[in-house]
Structure 1
């Protein structure tokens, strides 16, 4: 089987001035400036756009998506490994999967307004491609791949520190994590005593109730959390306690 390692094209794709202006705005807005802007254009180029401009030698974003998927997984893995030192391999895998899954990537792309920058064919545009979840997730990954090729891993991590990692820190993916088990493990490692959870407040009507839970270590309060159920409130209290203990250790 013959593998094509290099393109046989000698001509370069020339994007319209309107596209170049659009992505100059993009780079100024996000304060990310590409050494090779063509990589950025390609990250947002859908196959439908390429098909409608066959003579222009444009390249769609599928290969960058492939690369970006790997870079994103590596970057998130490194972050989780460094920040969540008490998590088991299984817990880390579960959390990473929640962060890099398609629904999460769609949320990130929408928050950044990536949909308006995608280069689409007319047919794809008319059928709502600009809001298609799979397309948006692919564009997010392709952008990560383009940024990595253009500037390396550190700028990718800096970007994720603004877009993704803060969401992890505030518990946006807590629905897949068992913070109570993590906190119990931390306390057992230090032989610090017994953990107790108690509901200290219930707020709102029965159909829209919010619970407030407190986690105590012996007689010392470690954290308070809120949730739509008692279980969720306890998980949030445990998460806050883990953060507080980590901050305390760093201060010592």
Structure 2
């Protein structure tokens, strides 16, 4: 499989290692302003920056090159990308986190939210910790977790703050050097606490998931998610 890496920072380099180890070829390594011929690739993996992601994705879609995107901070244009993908009969996956373990964690989070939804004595809160070079806060993963709770509870929204109204979920975002990513969801009451937590030990898990998604999407048409890749129903 010939892969275009759209974004060649730390994640791009980690994806390259995994892809090569699985027998694939890297044909494009794109930094922010590079001009490329995306048709040289069988599939593209976008881990760029928010200002470049949409253009990278639409370039792939317009040229019918399947694209996997893990860039966060551009989702105000996500629906436009989905509409374009359907119009062009191309293939696209966006995920806030490609770690296989995190995507299992997303489903556990939803199930716990359903189970806790009728227990009004518990307060929900969240924390995410990442390295100091992460540009957005809260993380896309934290937002996905919050949305999973909102869909399955009486909460209305999330807020980047330690304290918020009872209708919203407070998220604390911390930036600490050399932390790949830690996400925690708490349910606290006067009598006990329930906590679920995912801790990434390195970027390797994110990179592996992105390559697995790229392998899966080859030859397919449509807009997909990691639930499709992992066959989670």
Fold-level similarity (TM above 0.5): no
Q: Please, what TM-score do these two structures have when normalized by structure 1?
A: 0.25
Q: Which has the higher strand share?
A: 2
* Greater helix fraction, Structure 1 or Structure 2: 1
Q: TM-score under structure 2 normalisation? A: 0.27
